[in-house]
């Protein structure tokens, strides 16, 4: 049996989705401002100092602006209420956004690899750079690392996989800025090949990170279950509900950062239909109150105690719940 959603009256409940949406919007706009400034400064400084690495890093920062607007778009759509076409809501916009972010990371990483290979094939075309490039690369490294730590802290606080993906996107930018800085140091020291070699390494790392994020998001869109520890926690909540004698066949699937759960509840066979219904409603309320569960569908199965005299009339509902 399936029941209509209950009011989310727990201390986390009513404000959790709103907190996640506000955190996503606030942290993403911070990222937009930082990346807009860095893109401008890096490209201008790269042109003035003749640093191809710094220009490439500026273009990398520009790709972050695209990623940030993808996150803002997904955050806006995922907050929409359930409708006739989407009875479970629009939370999977977040999974789709994570897939897009993964694809973006993969594309940027492969582009960095290709650019590095072209430089390695033509080492004579690597021009000496001005010291200004090193200062700007250091500034970009500090800004991106700080942005990563800020965004990751926010993502963990609101438990948003989409924000985690975007935070690690910022970390990949910090890594690329570090490599660009090392390449500039090598160029200034008379070793121009260090620049493309370092860029090649970071390109592989960024591409690998994009593949992992995209692959995880794809599995989430294919109804992947949550981890065993979370399933066990939900099972314990169900089993701890008064009147529930056993729990089996728990199935879960991700819906954005929320979970949709199916479960079979075993209740005393001598109870009335009303009593079994009330026990299932209470079990559902407890699960949705204590876990990030969007909806719980329950099926009530009869259970008979071996030592129970089945001729005894069923207890009243209040006694069963008590």
Q: Are residues 26 and 175 in the same domain?
A: yes
Same domain, 71 and 44: yes
Q: Report the CATH number that the domain containing residue 311 is assigned in CATH.
A: 3.30.70.1350
pLDDT digits (tens, 9 = 90+) for 3-18: 334 334 344 444 555 6
Q: In this structure, are 164 and 213 located in the same domain? A: yes
User: What does the DSSP assignment read for 191-236?
Assistant: -TTHHHHHHHHHHHHHHHHHHHHHHHHHHHHTTPPPPHHHHHHHHH
Q: 11: which DSSP letter?
A: S
> Residue 190 above 80 pLDDT?
yes
Model confidence band, residue 86 (pLDDT cutoffs 50, 70, 90): low
pLDDT in tens, 115-141: 878 878 887 777 778 888 889 989 988
Q: Is the pLDDT of residue 303 over 60?
A: yes
The residue ranking higher by pLDDT, 164 or 143, is: 143
Q: What is the model's pTM?
A: 0.60
Residue 272, SS3 per DSSP = coil
The number of distinct structural domains making up the chain is: 2
CATH code where residue 88 lies = 1.20.1510.10
For residues 312-321, average pLDDT = 56
Q: Is residue 1 part of a domain?
A: no
Q: For residue range 213-259, what is the model confidence (pLDDT) as tens digits? A: 788 888 777 777 788 888 899 999 999 899 898 898 899 888 777 78
The pLDDT mean for the chain works out to 78
Confidence check: pLDDT of 99 > 80: yes
d(CA 123, CA 193): 7
Tokens describing residue 243: 């009147």
What percent of the chain has a predicted confidence (pLDDT) above 70?
78
Residue 158 or residue 153, greater confidence: 153
Q: How far, in Å, CA of 185 to CA of 157, rounded?
A: 38
pLDDT at residue number 313: 53
Domain range enclosing 296: 228-321
Distance from C-alpha of 284 to C-alpha of 80, rounded to nearest angstrom = 23
Domain assignment present for residue 3? The answer is no
> How much is the average pLDDT of 197-209?
77
The secondary element (H helix, E strand) that includes residue 108 is helix 92-121
Return the C-alpha torsion angle 11, 17, 21, 24, nearest 10. Answer: 80
């Amino acid at each position: 049996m399936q029941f209509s959603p209950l009011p989310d009256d727990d201390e986390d409940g009513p404000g959790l989705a709103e907190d996640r949406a506000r955190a996503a919007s606030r942290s993403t706009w911070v990222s937009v401002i930082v990346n807009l400034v860095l893109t401008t400064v890096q490209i201008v400084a790269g042109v003035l100092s003749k640093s191809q690495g710094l220009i490439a890093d500026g273009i990398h920062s520009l790709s972050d602006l695209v990623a940030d607007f993808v996150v803002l778009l997904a955050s806006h759509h995922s907050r929409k209420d359930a409708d006739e076409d989407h009875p479970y809501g629009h939370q999977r916009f977040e999974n789709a956004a994570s897939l897009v972010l993964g694809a973006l990371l993969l594309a940027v990483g492969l582009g960095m690899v290709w650019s590095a290979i072209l430089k390695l094939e033509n080492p004579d075309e690597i021009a000496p750079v001005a010291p200004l490039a090193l200062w700007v690369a250091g500034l970009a490294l500090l800004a991106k690392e700080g942005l990563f730590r800020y965004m990751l802290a926010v993502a963990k606080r609101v438990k948003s996989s989409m924000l985690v993906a975007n935070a690690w996107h910022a970390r990949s930018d910090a890594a690329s800025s570090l490599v660009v800085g090392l390449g500039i140091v090598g160029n200034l020291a008379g070793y121009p090949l260090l620049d493309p070699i370092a860029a090649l390494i970071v390109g592989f790392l960024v591409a690998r990170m994009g593949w992992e994020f995209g692959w995880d998001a794809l599995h989430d869109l294919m109804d992947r279950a949550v981890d065993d520890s979370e399933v066990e926690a939900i099972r314990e909540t169900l089993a701890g509900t008064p009147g529930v004698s056993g729990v089996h066949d728990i199935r879960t699937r991700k819906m954005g950062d929320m979970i949709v759960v199916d479960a079979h509840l075993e209740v005393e066979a001598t109870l009335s239909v009303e009593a079994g219904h009330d026990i299932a409603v209470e079990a559902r309320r407890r699960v949705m109150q204590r876990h990030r569960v969007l909806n719980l569908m329950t099926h009530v199965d009869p259970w008979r105690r071996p030592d129970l005299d089945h001729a005894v009339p069923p207890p009243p509902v209040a006694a069963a719940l008590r």
